Amino acid sequence: CRHLVLVLGDQLDAAGPALRDLDPTRDRVWMCEAVEESTHVPSHKARILLFLSAMRHFREALETAGVSVHYRALDAEADPSLAAGLAAAIRVLRPERLILTEPGEHRVLSALQGVAEASAVPLEIRPDAHFICSRTEFDRWAAGRKGLRLEHFYRHLRKREGILMEGPSDAAQPVGGQWNLDQENRKSFGRQGPGMVPEPIGFPSDVITRDLIAVIERRFPDAPGNLERFDWPVTAAQARAALADFIRNRLAAFGPWQDAMWTGEPYLYHARISAALNLKLLDPRTAIDAAISAFEANQAPLASVEGFVRQILGWREYVRGIYWREGPVYLESNALEAHRPLPNFYWTGKTDYACLEASIGQVLEYGYGHHIQRLMVTGLFVLLLGVAPREVHSWYLAMFVDAVEWVEAPNVIGMSQYADGGLLASKPYVATGQYINRMSNYCRHCRYDPKEAVGESACPFTTLYWDFLDRHRDRFANHPRTALQWRNLARLEPERLGAIRRQAEVLRGDLASGGNG
């Protein structure tokens, strides 16, 4: 063929850059189900299913439009790696040129470049149009800056794109006069709970998905997670329906309850669109525009709309810029020199720490946890414990349906584990169990007490929090944004600190030997 257009599992947009000038009479599309490519530990069944089902639906749509797809299916032959699969396709199809949209992972990019080189076929890599800020623009913004703070980047993009801005273009101001409305958000549900949360729209499995469920259960019986609840969008039309459902039924309450958690409520007022965005079934601009239209129609308050735009225009674009700018060495960061193993219960959810049982149990069941569960429950615990960031990274990459390395790694290694030494987060996100108690109802169902750091009912978060401050005293005691926490540490009686240290030591020993504390 003339061009062999490579479409990876997270590039499922028929209008994407690589497919733009496809000539169905001379070109072919290559797709390959290489499940073990994206993670070195077994992936959650729902994550495998989501990728494969979305790929097969995409293939069907292309073929219906008259495009010829060279598709290497998982169940048809021995598992190929992406590289082996591509090399085999090149031998058969003898393309003049390979066309690829830039992938979302360093390793995939170099593997495909390696095959092209070895096969002596030119490889054309096109920028990914699904991002509002290109990699080059991000690097330009970052060049010469001392710190790469989200807030600065977000304001820069909002001005440049004229999103939620008002007034003359040379002196535009944020709508409502403020850039950040977080102080109106961050509420908890108090004792009464969230009441009736609108059930998000789900998408029942069709024949493609059902066939794949059988394949996955047969091929990966021991993979974590289950498929009973699988109802994620797997086509662009479903992704648009998921977005519309969120805008209509949950956006208005998104802002205030962004950080709240509640047993048995996996989604609350969150959008549930990250996987669709990451697979490119949905464009981030469509999501932002829909939220702004709801604001303009008085269907959602500014705090919720700005909060949502901040996540997509701000955080999502920012972490992608960081991922590519820092390069593969970023994955090896370990500024706090954490080397402990991941507790075994992260793979089973079997623990009597109620918050972790709920958050991990939910991930096993749905492949989903919302931001605060990821950051302040599953992430916080391993940060305080001192687990090796690389192990934490592997767990997050495997367990969430929306996990793709460019977004997962900066969130885990930078934001959650502070392993990049503060490049992404200005301070480590550390707290005692009291934070979890304030933001959820988990502690009410727990045999531990979030106020206690020592003794039989000591909350492991609270014990390990003080122990973390103690262990990292030298690094943070004079840090301007964390000084208060460390001043509180300095106020602890020496005997109490000694007891906390001993309790932490016993806890770490228990966890290392497979216990849950």
**Which CB sits closer to ligand SF4, 281 or 355?**
355
Asked if 330 is part of the footprint of ligand FAD (rule: CB under 6 A), the reply reads no
| Window contacting ligand SF4 (CB under 6 A); options: 34-42, 213-221, 265-273, 440-448 | 440-448
Binds ligand FAD by CB under 6 A, chosen from 247, 312, 385, 459:
312
Contact 414, 427 (CB under 8 A): no
Binds ligand SF4 by CB under 6 A, chosen from 232, 269, 324, 461:
461
**Which CB sits closer to ligand FAD, 74 or 413?**
413
Cα separations (Å) of 112 from 35, 83, 115? 16, 6, 5
Asked if 460 is part of the footprint of ligand SF4 (rule: CB under 6 A), the reply reads yes
Residue 265 is classified by DSSP as -
Binds ligand FAD by CB under 6 A, chosen from 58, 230, 396, 418:
396
Q: Which of 235, 238, 231 is nearest to 199 (CA)?
A: 231
Asked if 225 is part of the footprint of ligand FAD (rule: CB under 6 A), the reply reads no
| Window contacting ligand FAD (CB under 6 A); options: 137-145, 182-190, 398-406, 487-495 | 398-406
Binds ligand FAD by CB under 6 A, chosen from 342, 375, 419, 507:
375
Asked if 374 is part of the footprint of ligand FAD (rule: CB under 6 A), the reply reads yes
**Which CB sits closer to ligand FAD, 371 or 451?**
371
- 461 interface partner picked from ligand SF4, ligand FAD, none, CB below 5 to 8 A per type: ligand SF4
Binds ligand SF4 by CB under 6 A, chosen from 131, 353, 395, 418:
353
The rounded distance, in Å, linking the Cα atoms of 415 and 360 is 19
Helix 236-249 to helix 284-296 angle (10° resolution) is: 30
Q: Which of 465, 472, 440 is nearest to 451 (CA)?
A: 465
Which residues make Cβ contacts (< 8 Å) with residue 14, sequence separation at least 6?
Answer: 58, 61, 62, 65, 236
Residues in the chain: 517
Residue 412 is classified by DSSP as I
In Å, the largest CA–CA distance within the chain is: 79
- The structure tokens 């048809």 sit at 76
Q: How many helices (H) and strands (E) does the chain have?
A: 22, 7
Asked if 273 is part of the footprint of ligand FAD (rule: CB under 6 A), the reply reads yes
Asked if 464 is part of the footprint of ligand SF4 (rule: CB under 6 A), the reply reads no
Residues near ligand FAD, by CB under 6 A: 270-274, 277-278, 308, 311-312, 315-316, 319, 370-371, 374-375, 379, 396, 400, 402-403, 407-408, 411-412, 415-416
